Amino acid sequence: MTAAQARRVVWVHGDSLSVTDPALSACPDAPALFVFDRPFLQVVPVAFPRLAFMYQGVRDLAAHRTGPTEIRVGAVPDELAAFAGAHHAAELHVTRNFTPDFARIVEGLRAARPDLRIVIHEPERLTSFDGPLRRFFGFWKKVEREVLHGEPAPDFPRRGHR
Amino acid sequence: MTDPVRLPLDLPDDQLPRVLGEALAGLYTGEPRLPARAGGRTAGLAALHAWTGEGYAGRNFLGGNVSRLSMYLRHGMLGLREVAAHARAVMRGRGRDEFLRQLTWAEFYRLVLRQEGARVLGNLEDPKYPARWTDTLPDDVRGARTGLPCADAWVTHLVRDGWLHNHERLWFAAYLVHWRGVDWRAGYALFREHLLDGDIANNALSWQWVASTFSNKPYFMNQENIDRYSGGRWCRTCRAACPFRASYGELETQLFGTQP
Ligand SMILES: Cc1cc2nc3c(=O)[nH]c(=O)nc-3n(C[C@H](O)[C@H](O)[C@H](O)COP(=O)(O)OP(=O)(O)OC[C@H]3O[C@@H](n4cnc5c(N)ncnc54)[C@H](O)[C@@H]3O)c2cc1C
């Protein structure tokens, strides 16, 4: 490890179960952790096959990366804090998702480990659209060209200015 | 705080239900068993590469060739971009455009979740008809004992496969919300429990689309529609008093009180 490169760990969550996940790709050698969220699963019913499907996802990514991967059951912020501590990490890398749980867990971790730098990678997008949304039809009109042809639409129409 | 439980990461599939089942005791519903489709990027890529999209234009038929990639997309095992690139490379014509448009619904719902946050778990808009919904899922629905062969099959497929064809999801949602008068959140919770692809964005927002709290009108079907798109699967031998057997106009008046 160079002085410039802080020790890192990666948090792998249920929306990023692939070796191609942006946070994992940014830190191929860093220890990574997936946690089955005990407090969440205690109140939200989930049938077993789904949890097995996720386990298979973590198993597969573990087999395809150079860094070590771990899987635990517990409260996610606590497990992440302990994992970062055990690896003397100064940074934790993760790929953002838009669920309310993600924000809650990141807050919990910040509270538990204010010294840990949390680096959030942006998830992959299909389109480059960033405006407000209301109905699919209006959205589709804006992104149709980009999605069908695989190239970004020009930012603004060039013609028709008054 | 309970002691952390660490799991080995090299469990073969035949030991997985037992070992994972013990480690997660009390944290899941149903029996510990393997999912109908194997998880992981390797399995997802194999499914993607095996899929040619032949005949996707008939995707609304239960027998139509849909990709069944949703559970891999949901967990990030596959990315929307690589699936779109595969479709652009191997598919042709109307089916190709239709598939890319469906993928775009998934992106749209993710972005709506980003915009609205936890609000997607409540009505985003008022329903477009005078709705009085109850909160709880009726036992006969959960137990696949409604007496309607189609409705019972939708629940059975959901629980058994962890996946339902889009049209079955639509029919079931319309049945539950409009015919049974159940709040969409009860259906959302049942789907979240069993779907391998169950997530917040696609699941909650699709239910809201059917319920008309995120669309301009409620979605509903009639018996002809079920018969046609299921290839007569249930209707041909059905003896039940069919609540769906009427014209769209009649059902509209019956269910929503008006013809918009
Ligand atoms: C009430 C209800 C609940 C739903 N809940 C979920 C859910 O929890 N998770 C989920 O991924 N999808 C959900 N859907 C959307 C859709 O039914 C599934 O994505 C689709 O059936 C998955 O099958 P497939 O992969 O073969 O789709 P394909 O037809 O092969 O489409 C390819 C991909 O496009 C996306 N897609 C296709 N149709 C839709 C759609 N109508 N809305 C959003 N994305 C779509 C999916 O990512 C899908 O994998 C729901 C639909 C309804 C009506």
The Cβ-side half-sphere exposure at B20, using a 13 Å CA radius, reads 30
ipTM for the complex? 0.96
Atom 47, ligand 1: residue with shortest CA distance: B70
Mean pLDDT (whole number) for A104-115: 96
pLDDT at A81: 97
Contact residues for A143 (Cβ-Cβ < 8 A; gap 6+): A126, A127, A129, A153, B104, B107
Q: How confident is the model at residue B4 (pLDDT cuts 50, 70, 90)?
A: low
Q: Which of B206, B207, B210, B221 to mutate to test the pocket of ligand 1 (most atoms within 8 A of CB)?
A: B206
Chain B closest-CA separation from residue A118 CA (Å): 20
Nearest-atom number in ligand 1 for the CA of B172 is 1
pLDDT at B5: 82
Averaged confidence pLDDT in chain B = 96
Do residues B203 and B195 make contact, with C-beta atoms less than 8 angstroms apart? yes
Element (H, E) at A25: helix A22-26
d(CA A95, CA A140) in angstroms, rounded, equals 26
d(CA A35, CA B2) in angstroms, rounded, equals 14
In chain B, the percentage of residues whose pLDDT exceeds 90 is 97
In chain A, the percentage of residues whose pLDDT exceeds 90 is 88
Mean pLDDT (whole number) for B168-184: 98
pLDDT digits (tens, 9 = 90+) for A15-48: 999 999 999 999 999 999 999 999 999 999 999 9
Residue A95: list chain B partners with CB under 8 A: 76
Instruction: Find the CB nearest B34 among A21, A52, A123.
Output: A52
d(CA A52, CA B16) in angstroms, rounded, equals 7
Q: Is it the case that residue A157 has pLDDT exceeding 60?
A: no
Residue A140: list chain B partners with CB under 8 A: 101, 104, 108
| A150 Cβ under 8 Å from any chain B Cβ | yes
Q: Is it the case that residue A159 has pLDDT exceeding 50?
A: no
For chain B, where are the E strands, in sequence order?
Answer: 5-7
Q: Is it the case that residue A162 has pLDDT exceeding 90?
A: no
Could you give the strand order of the β-sheet that contains A8-12, starting from the edge strand earlier in sequence?
A117-121, A91-95, A8-12, A32-37, A69-74, B5-7
Do residues A46 and A129 make contact, with C-beta atoms less than 8 angstroms apart? no
Chain B closest-CA separation from residue A1 CA (Å): 26
Mean pLDDT (whole number) for B169-177: 98
Instruction: Find the CB nearest B24 among A51, A59, A147.
Output: A51
Residues flanking ligand 1, CB < 6 Å: B 59, 66-70, 73-74, 102-103, 105-106, 109, 166, 169-170, 173, 191, 195, 197-199, 202-203, 206-207, 210
Tokens encoding B77: 């095992």
Among residues A67, A58, A53, A57, the alpha carbon closest in space to that of A25 is found at A67
Which of A55, A78, A101 to mutate to probe the B interface, most B CBs <10 Å?
A55
Contact residues for B73 (Cβ-Cβ < 8 A; gap 6+): B79, B80, B83, B106, B197
Among residues B175, B168, B120, B166, the alpha carbon closest in space to that of B146 is found at B175
pLDDT at A6: 81
Element (H, E) at B255: helix B248-256
pLDDT at A155: 55
Instruction: Find the CB nearest B35 among A18, A52, A103.
Output: A52
| A146 Cβ under 8 Å from any chain B Cβ | no
Among residues A33, A53, A69, the alpha carbon closest in space to that of B17 is found at A53
d(CA B87, CA B48) in angstroms, rounded, equals 9
Can you give the C-alpha Rg of chain B in angstroms?
A: 20
What DSSP state is assigned to residue B37?
A: S
Chain A closest-CA separation from residue B35 CA (Å): 4
Tokens encoding B96: 């190709």
- Strand A32-37 vs strand A69-74: parallel, antiparallel, or unpaired? parallel
pLDDT digits (tens, 9 = 90+) for A52-80: 999 999 999 999 999 999 999 999 999 99
Among residues B24, B42, B40, B21, the alpha carbon closest in space to that of B32 is found at B21
3-state SS string for B156-213: HHHHHHCCCCHHHHHHHHHHHHHHCCECHHHHHHHHHHHCCCCCCHHHHHHHHHHHCC
Tokens 């059905």 locate to B238
Q: Is it the case that residue B197 has pLDDT exceeding 90?
A: yes
Contacts 24+ apart (CB under 8 A), B172-178: B173/B206, B173/B207, B173/B210, B173/B211, B173/B219, B174/B210, B174/B218, B174/B219, B174/B220, B174/B221, B175/B148, B175/B151, B176/B137, B176/B141, B177/B133, B177/B207, B177/B210, B177/B211, B177/B218, B178/B218, B178/B220, B178/B255, B178/B256
Q: How confident is the model at residue B259 (pLDDT cuts 50, 70, 90)?
A: low
Higher pLDDT, A51 or A5: A51
Do residues A157 and B110 make contact, with C-beta atoms less than 8 angstroms apart? no
Q: Is the Cα dihedral A112, A118, A122, A124 positive or negative?
A: negative
pLDDT at A158: 40
pLDDT digits (tens, 9 = 90+) for B68-99: 999 999 999 999 999 999 999 999 999 999 99
Instruction: Find the CB nearest B107 among A15, A53, A125.
Output: A125
Q: How confident is the model at residue A153 (pLDDT cuts 50, 70, 90)?
A: low
In chain A, the percentage of residues whose pLDDT exceeds 70 is 90
Q: How confident is the model at residue B226 (pLDDT cuts 50, 70, 90)?
A: very high
pLDDT at A154: 58
Tokens encoding B84: 């779109």
Residue A61: list chain B partners with CB under 8 A: 40-41
Interfacial A residues in 56-95 facing B (CB < 8 Å): 56-62, 64, 69-75, 78-79, 82, 95
Contact residues for B219 (Cβ-Cβ < 8 A; gap 6+): B170, B173, B174, B209, B210, B212
Mean pLDDT (whole number) for B216-224: 98
pLDDT digits (tens, 9 = 90+) for B97-145: 999 999 999 999 999 999 999 999 999 999 999 999 999 999 999 999 9
What is the pTM assigned to this prediction? 0.96
Cβ separation B32–A48 shorter than 8 A: yes
Nearest-atom number in ligand 1 for the CA of B199 is 8
